[in-house]
Amino acid sequence: MDKDERKDLAPLFDLIIAHVPAPKHDLEHPSPCWATTLEYDSLPRPEFSTGRIETGVARVNMPLKVLHREGMVLETGRATKLLSFRGLERVPVDSAEAGDIIALAGLTTANVADTFCAPEVTTPIKARPIDRRPSR
């Protein structure tokens, strides 16, 4: 057997664990989430933004705001729907916590790299924009 032969993805997972910071499970801390993708669905389903919760918890109907990467408030509103990922399936959930990747509906002006967060959060997650919202 060749010593460089790989039988599984364990070396990749080891690198991820070594270099990606673990989520902060402080459930009392306000929850920032970084938008990584945007998705438009046909009515009656709303637009979703997908991202990873960095700290705290997100709940359906909780007040949220969107911060631009420079700190400007772009929008305020509520999380009208939360979807969590189970494999390739998205399932509705009432809440999600740090480390979870979620799709969130209820706020419509965010772009990729904007921060979805509780109203008391004042500092956006550091991010570099990688895409712009397509015009409708």
Burial label for 105, CB within 10 Å (0-12, 13-18, 19+), is buried
**Tens-place pLDDT, residues 3-29:** 666 678 888 888 888 887 776 666 555
Which phi and psi (to 5°) does residue 18 adopt? -75, -25
CA-to-CA distance for 131 and 77, rounded, in angstroms? 23
Residue boundaries of the structural domains of the chain: 23-117
**Tens-place pLDDT, residues 27-37:** 555 556 655 66
CA-to-CA distance for 42 and 115, rounded, in angstroms? 24
**Tens-place pLDDT, residues 59-96:** 999 999 998 888 899 999 999 999 998 888 889 999 99
Query: What global pTM score does this model have?
Result: 0.66
Residues of the chain with pLDDT > 70: what percent? 71
C-alpha 39, offset from chain centre: 13
Query: Please, which residues bridge with residue 52 across strands?
Result: 34, 101
Look at residues 31, 57, 52 and name the one whose alpha carbon lies nearest to residue 113.
Answer: 52
**What DSSP state is assigned to residue 71?**
S
CATH of domain 23-117: 2.40.30.10
Give the tokens for residue 63: 């007040």
Mean pLDDT, rounded, for 106-114: 81
pLDDT band at 117; cut points 50, 70, 90 = confident
Burial label for 127, CB within 10 Å (0-12, 13-18, 19+), is middle
What pLDDT, on the 0 to 100 scale, is given for residue 84?
A: 92
Instruction: Select the highest-mean-pLDDT range: 6-15, 58-67, 106-115, 117-126.
Output: 58-67
CA-to-CA distance for 110 and 50, rounded, in angstroms? 11
